[in-house]
Amino acid sequence: MKRAALYMRVSTVDQHPETQLHDLHLMAQQRGLEIVCEYVDKISGTKARRPGLDELMRDARRGRFDVVLVWACDRMARSVRHFLEVLDDLNRLQIEFISFRENLDTGGPLGRAIVVIISAIAELERSLIVERVRAGMRRAKLEGRHIGRRPLDIDRAAVLRHRAHGQSLAQIATTFATSRATIGRIIKEEAKRGVPKGVAPATP
């Protein structure tokens, strides 16, 4: 029975890899593979550093498994070039790569070629999405529309009055429905301009 390693990646810490994990366990069972390692990265697909993938590659060089299972090709690497490097390393170590969504593996040259093509299309799709977002932002800017968070409309004089009466940053933040950091910043900015008599310094 071949030993299998599972690799899963989700884009943010708010997402969970359970769906990928379920599908990969099912595929391993259907193919008669023994799961010996599981690796997870909670990080954007564009980020270079991936602790889970790095650990997988270290264990691959130690010969801990024979097959790597991933939920989709675009889960594996940040770019086509990076993906090819990972595949080359795995091939040199005689470790197969299998993708659940595409139902592909690198057991033969055809499988490897198809995986590379699909990865290229996925990268192109991400690039097109990024370009569409940037084009939308440029258009909004030309039309005079606001982009991003709108500035907070807080009565700074009122903040200083509350502070002068001895209220804490937390109390003032609750009154103005904002954060302690924002209140502290306002008080410090006003202090640079000249603190009115009787206003306490910005301490928690």
- The residue behind tokens 């258009």 is 139
The CA dihedral of 75, 77, 79, 84, to the nearest 10 degrees, is -120
Give the number of other CB atoms < 10 A from CB of residue 144.
Answer: 6
Is the domain spanning 156-194 CATH 1.10.357? The answer is: no
Cα 11 off chain centre by:
4
Lowest mean pLDDT among 90-99, 115-124, 195-204: 195-204
Q: Report the pLDDT value the prediction gives residue 120, as an integer from 0 to 100.
A: 76
For 109-114, the CB contacts below 8 A with 24+ separation are 112/87
pLDDT at residue 61 tops 90: yes
Q: Is 190 helix (H, G, I), strand (E, B) or coil?
A: helix
SS (H, E, C) 120-182: HHHHHHHHHHHHHHHHHHHHHHHCCCCCCCCCCCCCHHHHHHHHHCCCCHHHHHHHCCCCHHH
Distance from C-alpha of 94 to C-alpha of 155, rounded to nearest angstrom: 66
Which of the two residues, 10 and 109, has the higher pLDDT score? 10
The domains spanning 3-125 and 156-194 adopt the same CATH topology: no
Question: In the CATH hierarchy, which fold is given to the domain comprising 3-125?
Answer: Rossmann fold (3.40.50)
What are the domain boundaries of the chain? 3-125, 156-194
Local confidence band at 8 (pLDDT 50, 70, 90 cut-offs): very high
What average pLDDT does range 191-195 have in this prediction? 73
The single residue of 11, 79, 99, 168 carrying the catalytic annotation is 11
Flag whether pLDDT at 197 surpasses 50. Answer: no
Percent of the chain with pLDDT over 90: 25
Tell me whether residue 179 is one of the annotated catalytic residues.
Answer: no
pLDDT for the residue numbered 46: 62
Copy the structure tokens of residue 150: 């709108």
